[in-house]
Amino acid sequence: MRLELTKRGDYAVRAMLALTRGAGDGRLSARRISDAMAIPVRFLPQVLGDLQRAGLVEASTGRAGGYRLAKPAERISLLEVIEAVEGDGRRRTCVLRGGPCGLDGTCDVHDVFFEGQEALRATFAAATLASLAAPATTAALEASAVMRTRGAAT
């Protein structure tokens, strides 16, 4: 059994964790998020655009522009972030037949897989950005800021 995010989902989760820990009431630039979270800068605007369309991120342009969370981190779930960029991940094909379950009745394992899928979704829905943001994210953002400051001084 495989459980993994697409690259887009991975980048979205990392970007949202950076926004959770890094800006306070301010905004973070795409470059700062990219540097701190090792996300390719060319993909980040696309991912942040998905998150903005989902109502999870606010963006502003200009010298003081950047990105910030659209609502408190305590009110944004991991499931919302993932579904903003990957869509609804619920399986719609039979795990045994590869087609829709129900053509000739549900398969023998349908109920077990459905319950497992819903349990996973519930776990992701219960995990908020605030509960997930780790000191490692803050350390990466601080290191990114120090590197930028040193680069600007030379």
Question: How do residues 45-100 score in pLDDT, each as one tens digit?
Answer: 999 999 999 999 999 888 878 999 999 999 999 999 999 999 887 666 776 766 66
For 41, phi then psi, to 5°, come to -60, -25
Q: Is the separation of the CB atoms in 26 and 51 below 8 Å?
A: no
pLDDT average, residue stretch 8-32: 88
Among all chains, which residue has been given the structure tokens 């993994």? Answer: 4
Domain extent listing, the chain:
7-88+129-153
Q: Is the separation of the CB atoms in 60 and 52 below 8 Å?
A: no
Residue 32 has pLDDT above 70, yes or no: yes
Q: Which CATH number fits domain 7-88+129-153: 1.10.1740.10, 1.10.10.10, 2.60.120.200, 3.40.718.10?
A: 1.10.10.10
Return the H-helix or E-strand segment holding 42: none
Amino acid, res. 11: Y
| 103-127: pLDDT as tens digits | 566 777 778 888 888 899 999 999 9
At residue 21 the predicted structure's pLDDT band, cuts being 50, 70 and 90, is confident
Name 146's Cβ contacts closer than 8 Å, sequence gap at least 6.
none
**What sections of 54-108 are H helices per DSSP?**
78-86
Q: Is the separation of the CB atoms in 51 and 15 below 8 Å?
A: yes
Among 13-17, 22-26, 85-89, 129-133, which is the least confidently predicted range? 22-26
Q: Are strands 57-60 and 66-69 parallel, antiparallel or unpaired?
A: antiparallel
Q: How far apart are CA 82 and CA 37, in angstroms?
A: 17
Q: What is the predicted pLDDT for the residue at 23?
A: 58
